[in-house]
Amino acid sequence: MTTTSFQSDIRTALERTGGDAGTRLHAPRRMRAIGYVRQAFGEMDMDKKATSPEGQKARISACADANGWNLIHVYEDIGWSGEDLDRPSLPTLLSGLGYEVLIVDRTDRLTTKKKDLDFLLALLEKHGITCVPATWSWEPLAQYMRWWYRRRANPVYALLDTAVAASEAGPAQGQPQATMTASS
């Protein structure tokens, strides 16, 4: 898995900052992200591709690339349940050192309980970290997390919502919309 990506075209967006020596130009800093992969023992026995660590890592990496984030590391808790927070990688994730975005494949990879999700999101927010699922779903915890961040006007979710709205295409101009007709 590649944790950094080099684009063939060099980004031309530059920030201008003032100062005593005149205007200086420098490239904007990309947001740093880490990934988190969790798979319980029961999920390993069922050989589910949806929860395989390799699949989760691929979706996390794709999410970071799609959003222009610098994925610096992916932590793994293999063989650990989402029912409790007693997992080896969680203390490192929650320390919040050196990153702004935590990417999980799905919300249930972080936790399966709403009270634990509340605790984790509040702790991450305290460190200035936003948790983003690489795979959007309609499961209740995922929708709750979206609502939690939108209510706080989180800037990362504002950008994600803008990107999603831009990618959703409506009916083409001048094309008649499909209508249902009753057959006799």
Q: Which one, of 144, 124, 107, 145, lies nearest residue 33 by Cα?
A: 124
**pLDDT tens digits, one per residue of 123-140:** 999 999 999 999 888 889
Q: What is the pLDDT of residues 21-41, one digit of tens each?
A: 555 555 567 899 999 999 988
Using DSSP, state whether 155 is helix, strand or coil.
Answer: helix
30-157 to CATH, choices 3.40.50.1390, 3.40.50.300, 3.20.20.70, 3.10.580.10: 3.40.50.1390
> How do the domains of the chain map onto residue ranges?
30-157
Would you place residue 166 in the very low, low, confident or very high pLDDT band (cuts 50, 70, 90)? low
Beta strand pairing status for 130-133 and 101-104?
parallel
Nearest by Cα to 132 from 118, 142, 117, 119? 142
Instruction: Give the closest residue to 67 by CA, choosing from 91, 115, 35.
Output: 35
- Residue 105 CA to residue 84 CA, distance in Å, equals 18
- Give this prediction's pTM: 0.72
